[in-house]
Structure 1
């Protein structure tokens, strides 16, 4: 064996049988490992990524061509996986992909390999910006927008949508635009939804009326009725979309809710211009709006017109709206007349109808008729609900028949109906009015055991008030303490009751403590609270605290228009004391000169 042959044999024995190409040694190890996991044969892709790494005979980079792949789609997929891996793991190696000249198809496929929306957005930004600057396709833009919307990142989606339409010149189709609008509405981005729908005609999209109707309903729910009316009139004027009956019903309901019944009538008259006719829902909304604005007679006239024309048959909602309007006006005879007319028309009343009548009779103090309506309700097998019993309890309490109200309270358990927060409030308030504080506390404790009811301050305040009036300020404080433990924040009425209650017991220091707590809690004391507290402080001989209280009140309560000065308060207190002592002893006119002299001296 020659020396050359021996050297060749030694060299072949010490080297691996398939040495890696030079390009593989230049690839980052982590990226190469990731490619080996993703791809069954990564070496062709490696040569593609580093085709200029091996020098040629002339010393310049030798541009080697990758052997033809089995299919073009397979090559694009390999490139897409490499792009995604490099973007997420080794973004500094992205400039090497410029030699490959990735296509928009590969960039679009790379987006689908992202594990989350943030990664997808990062890949999109990296591939379509410098150094690669791959022009994205319309499909890529829409895909990343959908991913962002589904992840709750509507703001980023809208920003990318603006780039898609303004920078890249891609216009969405009706289906995609409807998806984006609906996603923004679900995220409560109502103004963005308005902007998108207003641009639908610019994009050449014809969006269904459903999207516009849903958006107007959400705006009305937020109290933006004026915006809805302006948008609706602009949209129909610009012929952005063709409104249907539901469109008009949404706007009519909104304007009726804020009392613009005349505007509602104008909209009803305009329905024929767009080939729409008012249906039963339209008339129900209109009748309810008229009755809510104390125009029950006009609402009843619309009901008679429906019965007379026969085009739209009134239903139980139409009759109940008129009955409710008469009940709120205290015209129970008219309400029963409409009820009888409804029954004669073959329309069966529902629980809402009976509840309206029971509540109306309770407010006028006719509990006999209210009980008759309740009995008729049970005879017709219409099951009562919590509103039924609450209306009966409220009616008995208004008439001073508290024991009957408590009997109805007990009957609720037999019907397996749980009282709600307003039922508790009615009972507790009525018990406190009759100074039955122990029973009121028992009902309050029962309320505290209900995990499904969030306690409210207006329920606790009557109990605290009756305890303070009875001189049981410590028990009232315990109620306030348990109130805060239940997560219910005291309001200004709670603090005012406690401050005056402790002042009446001559426990001024504790009253001052509650006043400080009231201000720190953000409850602005009104002028009545401040004046009563200052009067108590002056009676207790604590004029120095008056200035402090007035400073706190003026700094923390914007509702106080003017707080009297200590001198005026002192004069008022002296005059009050003189009036209490002297006026019972003599006539006012006989003491008028003395009264004026004292006022001048003070």
Structure 2
């Protein structure tokens, strides 16, 4: 009842009274419930202490309870604690681990890049009558590839193919393919892909997307399109990631017409672009100084109710407008952002501050700087140094002193009385 009322501290005190003072020991089912309830409430250490006492209470708690708690530790970023508990539990005979137990521990150490520990844990499985399953091998191969040991990952893949006991699946192959793609080794990636096809394993959308992305980043859009065509021929439906990746590849190569053709092709599959797709195309138009097209896509994004505007999408548009001297239009973008609940970041403010300075609208630049500080967005050295340079050119040394004090943290913008210079300048933009 105390646990159900979220009074876990009281529940644990009562539990200690029950076991230490009255000598009443729990059974396995109750101990598992109490540990699980504590873990769900965030009392991970208390839950671990309870399960560690199982042998003392004469309980044989199922492996599920230990595995779930380990997973909770790993989910909170406490991988080393989870592994230490796991090894302590099995050494002390608290429970008999199963394959899932090892998979949880191996996944945790792989997440932090400790593949050597992962390999050691795989070796220890036999001590407890466990054999690596497909999940174990997929975790191990994925971990090796993430730390750029793709060759070792492929060795595991080949061993699985050779032994024939636990055959690799699409996840195993895709992990190795992804590792090679990230290293720019596209020939090796395609060799594994062809091997996959030859072994009768059907690639999925993730497999094709990884290959398309690899070729796109390598600037080889011909091969990227060839992979896409294979995807269609093998009746694997493309998704928004497929089209976003193709668009990104074309944009990297400066082929915006092909990117736009792919954007249109998306609608034929009734696939809607997501925030990432919009950010790719908007940034590319901004890089080519085509602000009208960038604004058109930003307006289309703002009309979508299922996508919240993000500062990193709007910043390139604000930047290209400011560089073109269109600061009033840039201000409107900011107002639309804030109207939709999108908070400007330090890059937004820096762009607007410098943009207004370049246009000679120093008072508005000062207002933006003050707003930046007041909203808790700390200016970095680039913002401060650029702004100071503009203020010095404008002959405003008193403002420079004020900005430097704010940047050093010795004062805030709200504590300072505006300088006579900034008071005398008409601020034409409401922010």
State the 1:502 CA deviation: 0.8
1:270 matched residue in structure 2: 124
Q: Is the 8 A contact 1:524 1:556 kept in 2?
A: no
In structure 2, do the counterparts of structure 1 residues 425 and 156 end up closer, same or farther at CA, with 3 Å as the change threshold?
A: farther
CA offset digits 1:230-266 (Å, max 9, x no partner): 2112212212111111111111111111111111111
1:398 matched residue in structure 2: 252
In structure 2, do the counterparts of structure 1 residues 426 and 159 end up closer, same or farther at CA, with 3 Å as the change threshold?
A: farther
Paired residue for 1:435, among 249, 267, 289?
Answer: 289
Query: Structure 1 CA distance, aligned partners of 2:123 and 2:175?
Result: 22
Matched, 1:387 2:241: yes
Query: Structure 1 CA distance, aligned partners of 2:4 and 2:259?
Result: 53
Matched, 1:532 2:386: yes
CA offset digits 1:197-227 (Å, max 9, x no partner): 2222232221111111111112212211111
2:3 match: secondary structure:
helix
TM-score of the superposition, structure 2-length normalised? 0.91
Query: Structure 1 CA distance, aligned partners of 2:298 and 2:44?
Result: 42
In structure 2, do the counterparts of structure 1 residues 334 and 274 end up closer, same or farther at CA, with 3 Å as the change threshold?
A: same
Query: Structure 1 CA distance, aligned partners of 2:45 and 2:208?
Result: 42
State the 1:151 CA deviation: 4.0
State the 1:188 CA deviation: 3.1
Matched, 1:461 2:333: no
1:40 matched residue in structure 2: none
Gaps of 5+ in 2: 412-431
Paired residue for 1:347, among 196, 201, 205?
Answer: 201
Query: Structure 2 CA distance, aligned partners of 1:516 and 1:168?
Result: 65
1:499 matched residue in structure 2: 353
Gaps of 5+ in 1: 1-146, 558-602
2:174 matched residue in structure 1: 320
Q: How does 1:139-178 map to 2 (within 5 A)?
A: 147-178=1-32
2:131 match: secondary structure:
coil
Matched, 1:233 2:87: yes
* Bigger RCO of structures 1 and 2 (CA < 8 A, at least 6 apart): 2
Paired residue for 1:374, among 214, 224, 228?
Answer: 228
2:264 matched residue in structure 1: 410
Query: Structure 2 CA distance, aligned partners of 1:446 and 1:264?
Result: 47
Q: Is the 8 A contact 1:519 1:556 kept in 2?
A: no
Query: Structure 2 CA distance, aligned partners of 1:187 and 1:388?
Result: 40
State the 1:167 CA deviation: 4.3
1:547 matched residue in structure 2: 401
Matched, 1:189 2:53: no
Query: Structure 2 CA distance, aligned partners of 1:356 and 1:556?
Result: 50
Moved more, 177-186 or 502-511: 177-186
Q: Number of aligned pairs?
A: 411
Query: Structure 2 CA distance, aligned partners of 1:514 and 1:298?
Result: 53
Matched, 1:479 2:333: yes
Matched, 1:253 2:88: no
Paired residue for 1:302, among 156, 163, 168?
Answer: 156
2:299 matched residue in structure 1: 445
Matched, 1:284 2:131: no
Matched, 1:220 2:74: yes
Q: Is the 8 A contact 1:499 1:512 kept in 2?
A: yes
TM-score of the superposition, structure 1-length normalised? 0.66
Query: Structure 1 CA distance, aligned partners of 2:410 and 2:83?
Result: 39
Query: Structure 1 CA distance, aligned partners of 2:210 and 2:378?
Result: 37
* Deviant stretches of 4+, over 4 Å: none
Paired residue for 1:205, among 59, 73, 81?
Answer: 59
Matched, 1:243 2:101: no
1:523 matched residue in structure 2: 377
Query: Structure 2 CA distance, aligned partners of 1:148 and 1:442?
Result: 58
Structural RMSD (CA): 1.7
Query: Structure 2 CA distance, aligned partners of 1:454 and 1:215?
Result: 35
CA offset digits 1:530-576 (Å, max 9, x no partner): 1111111100000011111011001079xxxxxxxxxxxxxxxxxxx
